[in-house]
Structure 1
Amino acid sequence: MEEKLKIKISIADRVYPLTVEPNLEEGLRTASKKIDTMIKQYEENYAVRDKQDVLAMCALQFASAQENRKIQSTEEYEDALLRLKKINEKIDFVLNKNI
């Protein structure tokens, strides 16, 4: 078992010390960079008075993207399932025709 790492992640000019599994470090660092980039975009494009408002919008944007991926994934699954059912019906038809 690998030893956990103690790292520091910076988000919105604040440093957060974390203890994480080594395989999670890269993802956390990438995520914090994406959050900081998004914060800068909000601050440049909107009149934002409070960092908490910007962080709330970032959280909403990330959560929305995740939910949209789930919805799309579900739709793709349902579409694939429907296609498989149609293929299965055709196979059953051919097999029953040869009996």
Structure 2
Amino acid sequence: MGVISIKINIADRVYPLKVDVAEEEIVRKAAKDINERIKTLTQNYEVRDKQDLLSMCVLHYATTALKLDNKNLIPDEGITEKIMELDHLLDAFLAKQ
């Protein structure tokens, strides 16, 4: 597509970014999620330092990402073999045509 310039506000700081048009929405949503997490942390803890709040945000998102990395989202359970079986059956059927 194309690259556009946008400004993202995170923790009361503005960051000018260049992003692909297709990624703009996800970048804006990520910034919104970060700001909401900072707001929640501020309300639940007596932490006011932006650096500490950002560090806690990073820890949350990194932990979530690592949990997802270690999790098999779709267990195979023989799906690959079944697909290969179907592929062979289709090849055999098409060969008869």
Query: Do they fold alike, i.e. is TM over 0.5?
Result: yes
TM-score, normalisation: structure 1: 0.73
Return the alpha-carbon distance in structure 2 between the equivalents of residues 69 and 33 of structure 1. 21
Is 1:10 the equivalent of 2:4? no
The alpha-carbon deviation at position 25 of structure 1 amounts to: 0.5
How large is the Cα RMSD of the aligned pairs? Answer: 2.0
The equivalent of 1:61 in structure 2 is 60
- Secondary structure class of the residue paired with 1:52: helix
Percent same amino acid at aligned positions?
A: 41
The equivalent of 2:34 in structure 1 is 35
- Secondary structure class of the residue paired with 1:18: strand
Return the alpha-carbon distance in structure 1 between the equivalents of residues 17 and 48 of structure 2. 28
- Secondary structure class of the residue paired with 1:25: helix
Return the alpha-carbon distance in structure 2 between the equivalents of residues 47 and 7 of structure 1. 32
Return the alpha-carbon distance in structure 1 between the equivalents of residues 48 and 5 of structure 2. 33
Return the alpha-carbon distance in structure 2 between the equivalents of residues 3 and 54 of structure 1. 34
| Cα deviation code 1:36-74 (max 9, x no counterpart) | 000000000001041100000100100110110111127
- Secondary structure class of the residue paired with 2:47: coil
The alpha-carbon deviation at position 4 of structure 1 amounts to: 1.2
The runs of at least 4 consecutive aligned structure 1 residues that moved more than 3 Å come to: none
Q: Aligned residue pairs: how many?
A: 81
Return the alpha-carbon distance in structure 2 between the equivalents of residues 34 and 69 of structure 1. 18
TM-score, normalisation: structure 2: 0.75
- Secondary structure class of the residue paired with 2:2: coil
| Greater helix content | 1
What are the ranges of 5 or more consecutive residues in structure 1 without an aligned counterpart? 89-99
- Secondary structure class of the residue paired with 1:73: coil
What are the ranges of 5 or more consecutive residues in structure 2 without an aligned counterpart? 83-97
